[in-house]
Amino acid sequence: MRGNRGKRIGTAVSVTAGALAACGLAFAPTAAAVTPGTATITADCGSYGGGEATLTATQNGTAATFTLSTSAMTAPVALGQDSIVSTLTLVKAGGGTAVFTGTKNPAMAVGDPLSVGPLSGTVASGDSLEAYGGSLRMTVFGFITITCTATGPQSPGPFVFD
C-alpha cells in the first residue's frame, strides 16, 4: 500500500509542476517584434565617403536597439572596442524624430568594415521609423566627428514597432 501512495504523490507532484510550468509559459512576457528586422540604406558621409549600409533593429517592449554595419566605409585607423560615440536619429512617420545612442562598437583594425551599435533608444507601439531625413553622427577620439545621411528611403521600408 505504501508504495502506491508514494507513486500517487509523485505523479501528483509531476502533474502539478507541469501545469505550473505551462501556466508560466503562457503568462511569460514576450519580446515585441519590429518589421523589417533589417533594412538597407545608401549613406553619404561627406569627405569620409559613403555607400550601402545595413541597419538591424531589435525591440523588447518600449526598448529598441539599432546596429549599423557597412563595408563601404572602413576604419581609417585602428579603433578600440566601444570607442565610437554614436547618435542615430530616425524620422517618425507622423512627425518628429527618435534618437538612439551608445558607445558600442567592435574593435576594428585599419581597413575593417565599419560597425556601430547596438545603439539604444525608446519606441512606442506603432512607431514607424525611417533613416531618410535622419542622420548617424559618430565621434572618434573625442574630436573627429563624422555625420552620415541617407540619400534615399531605406529598403524594404520603414521600421514598424509592435
Task: List, for the chain, all residue ranges whose pLDDT scores fall below the cut of 50.
Answer: 5-30
pLDDT value, residue 31: 56
CA nearest neighbour of 117 among 86, 143, 141: 86
pLDDT at 76: 85
What is the predicted pLDDT for the residue at 4?
A: 53
pLDDT of residue 107: 98
pLDDT one-digit tens code per residue, 60-93:
999 999 999 999 999 989 999 999 999 999 999 9
Q: What angle do CA 44, 47, 49 make, to 5 degrees?
A: 45
Residue entry with cell 512576457 = 29
The rounded distance, in Å, linking the Cα atoms of 82 and 135 is 20
Amino acid 61: pLDDT: 95
